[in-house]
Structure 1
Amino acid sequence: MDEQELQRIEANVSLAIDQLGPLSDVTFGLNQESVEWVEGFIERQRSRPDFDPEQVGGLIGVLGSFLGACIAAATGGGWHRSDDDGWGVLLPDGSRAFPFAKVRKQFRDGVEGGESIASFYRIAVDFIATGKLRETREGGAGPHAT
């Protein structure tokens, strides 16, 4: 079952690149610039008059797969499934990022509600995967991710 789910995630990543790349004005791929564009795409979907947060399950799957693949590509991490938390990206420091949950939260609450996949990406790549967040916490000062 895990292998089939992993293949579905990989197919979702390809679908996101194939379908969203031509719509974007960036060099679309597994990079930060594309994550930022997808964040705007989510916000544009949310602003549509016919937007229904209960009807975006397929988009959450595609965009969550894409976000996770971007994080994995930037950090050297990889997909990992646990019985308790489902699919996430296992980062080199042993922590995990859960891109599907973050995409779902941004669809639900939006950037104005504090949910940003671009910020999530930057924190995962620049702080958590590098160990800088742990160093900051152990030093007793600085930002804390929740």
Structure 2
Amino acid sequence: MDEQELQQIEANVRLAIDQLGPLSDVDFGLNQASVEWVEGFIERRRSRPDFDLERIDGLIGVLGSFLGACIVANTGGSWHRPGDDGWGVLLPDGSTAFPFAKVHKQFRDGVEAGESIVSFYRIAVDFIATGKLREAREGGAGPR
């Protein structure tokens, strides 16, 4: 685990909160409302005439760090680097969520193509981390 990269992720999270919080109309922090605001921010950026996917790696880094930190804060997960796949969030069930890849996909394809960081966040927090997705795949949790 590269401590310097983790420190950069933490710095990116602080930058996102410091810079985007005052622009938002929500209690900006490591929460779903902020993820929803950031999704709108991405969509607004994508719609600008000067938008160039090839020139936003830094923004993807900042927003991916923020999205991952939101998932960590709300699942009890931790940052994890599995091989060459880049940084992800190791969830309590052993799955890994890749927030940087998801932010990149939303910038590239947009919500209209199904690339929503809010859906990604909700699935990670509400279904994968809790084990509900695994239960559904295995036929439910049994009699209630």
Aligned match of 1:12: 12
Q: Map of 1:66-145 to 2, 5 A cutoff?
A: 66-139=66-139
The alignment's C-alpha RMSD in Å is: 1.0
After superposing on structure 2, the runs of 4+ consecutive aligned residues of structure 1 that deviate more than 2 Å are none
Q: Secondary structure at the match of 2:80?
A: strand
Count matched residues: 140
2: CA distance between counterparts of 1:38 and 1:61?
Answer: 13
TM-score, normalised to structure 1, is 0.94
Aligned match of 1:63: 63
2: CA distance between counterparts of 1:127 and 1:99?
Answer: 16
Which segments of 5 or more consecutive residues in structure 2 lack a partner in the other structure? none
2: CA distance between counterparts of 1:132 and 1:138?
Answer: 10
User: How many Å apart are 1:84 and its aligned residue?
Assistant: 2.9
2: CA distance between counterparts of 1:44 and 1:74?
Answer: 26
Match of 2:50, as an amino acid?
D
Which segments of 5 or more consecutive residues in structure 1 lack a partner in the other structure? 141-146
Q: Secondary structure at the match of 1:12?
A: helix
2: CA distance between counterparts of 1:104 and 1:26?
Answer: 23
Aligned match of 1:40: 40
Match of 1:99, as an amino acid?
P
Aligned match of 1:53: 53
TM-score, normalised to structure 2, is 0.95
Aligned match of 1:31: 31
